[in-house]
Amino acid sequence: MSESSDRSGSPQIALAFASCALIWGTTFLVISIGNDTVPPMWAGFLRLVIASLVMVAVVRLGGRRLPTGPALRVAAIYGVFLFGINLPLLYWGETVVPSGLAAVMYATTPISGALVARLFGIERLDPLKLLGALVALGGVALLFARDLAVPATALPLLAIFIATVAGAIGSTIFKRGPKQDAMAANAIAAAAGAPFCLAGSFLLHETRQMPTHLAQILPIIYLALAGSVGAFVIFSWLVRRVPVSTAAFVGVVVPVIAVTLGTLVRHERFAREHVFGSMLVLAGLFVAIVSDRRSHAASTGH
């Protein structure tokens, strides 16, 4: 994708949004399936190592360079938040939380992204987007309402919510940093995040054996190549061209795909408060999208 397509309505921007949504819509299910056969933190570590090696190879074969200096520091910090904190929490959370519900929780990323970008002083938070944030957070509160009485469920849900905030912080840091090649930056980011997954594996006393069966290998390979090399590289490219809060709206489509797949493949069902909470989250995100489009129209004079 070229640097020239910076317009939010360009075909490349639309394709990037669609690609991320389709890939991430499947990854929640694949993580859930993978957790059946490989301990979550160990699986995350293997995924990141594979992804980093593949991306380094692609960068080198393409005659490009890995980041150095300030760009290297930003890529590493981005990796700590997005892969070192975000990914382990998501993997661990999905050992208990159904993949569809995890995706709904993760859909609050646009709100987290907008709030974090405002705190970093790089984006403005208008009243309509703030209203959307409050509605979505009300939905999150409803999602937690029943599970707060059951720590075994509440903690994994909280882990996924914290993962969304960590992801928003990482994306914002990357946005503020020097412009750099998305593939090269993510190669460093995956390498920076891998030790955190490995440390988590030791802390949880997981068994750390190399996968030998297809049921163990395929989810890790898919998540490494499609989830990390594919979607995260595309998302990094997208973050450099549109506001962080706008890029994060890809999370609105992801739950629809994830819930559908979770129901069809894993036969997951939502409790009543989960359904209503999910509807509030998506309603809040819709309000935020309307706000974002109004702001864009005002800035372009349309």
Would 8 be classed as within a structural domain? no
What is the model's pLDDT at position 5? 42
Residue 3 forms part of a structural domain: no
Residue type, 203: L
Q: CA 167, CA 81: separation in Å to the nearest integer?
A: 6
Q: Quick check: is 223 in a domain?
A: yes
Average confidence (pLDDT) per 10 residues, the chain, 302 residues: 48 84 89 93 96 95 92 95 93 86 75 74 70 75 63 79 88 85 92 96 94 94 91 80 69 75 80 76 74 63 55
Query: Do residues 7 and 187 lie in contact, with contact meaning Cβ atoms separated by under 8 Å?
Result: no
pLDDT for the residue 80: 96
Residue 20 forms part of a structural domain: no
pLDDT at 205: 94
State residue 125's pLDDT score. 66
What is the helix (H) or strand (E) element at residue 62, kind and residue range?
none
Task: Assess contact for 101 and 85: CB atoms under 8 A.
Answer: no
Q: How many domains does the chain have?
A: 1
17, part of any domain: no
Predicted model pTM:
0.76
Residue 195 lies inside a defined structural domain of this protein: yes
pLDDT in the model for residue 182 = 86
CA atoms within 13 A on the CB side of 75: 25
What is the predicted pLDDT for the residue at 3? 42
User: Which amino acid belongs to residue 293?
Assistant: R
Residue 62 falls within a domain, yes or no? yes
* Cα–Cα distance measured from residue 252 to residue 257, given in angstroms and rounded to the nearest whole number: 10
Q: Is residue 42 a contact partner of residue 208, using CB atoms and an 8 Å limit?
A: yes
Q: Is 270 left (phi over 0), alpha (psi -120 to 50) or beta?
A: beta
Backbone Cα Rg of the chain? 18
Which pLDDT score is estimated for 292?
Answer: 64
Q: Which of 171, 162, 301 lies closest to 235 in space, CA to CA?
A: 171
The reported pLDDT for the residue numbered 228 is 86
Nearest CA-CA partner of 292 in 113, 139, 163, 121:
113
Q: CA-to-CA distance for 81 and 95, rounded, in angstroms? A: 21
Q: The domain containing residue 181 runs over which residues?
A: 27-297
Dmax (CA) for the chain in angstroms is 58
Q: 242: which DSSP letter?
A: S
56 located within any domain: yes
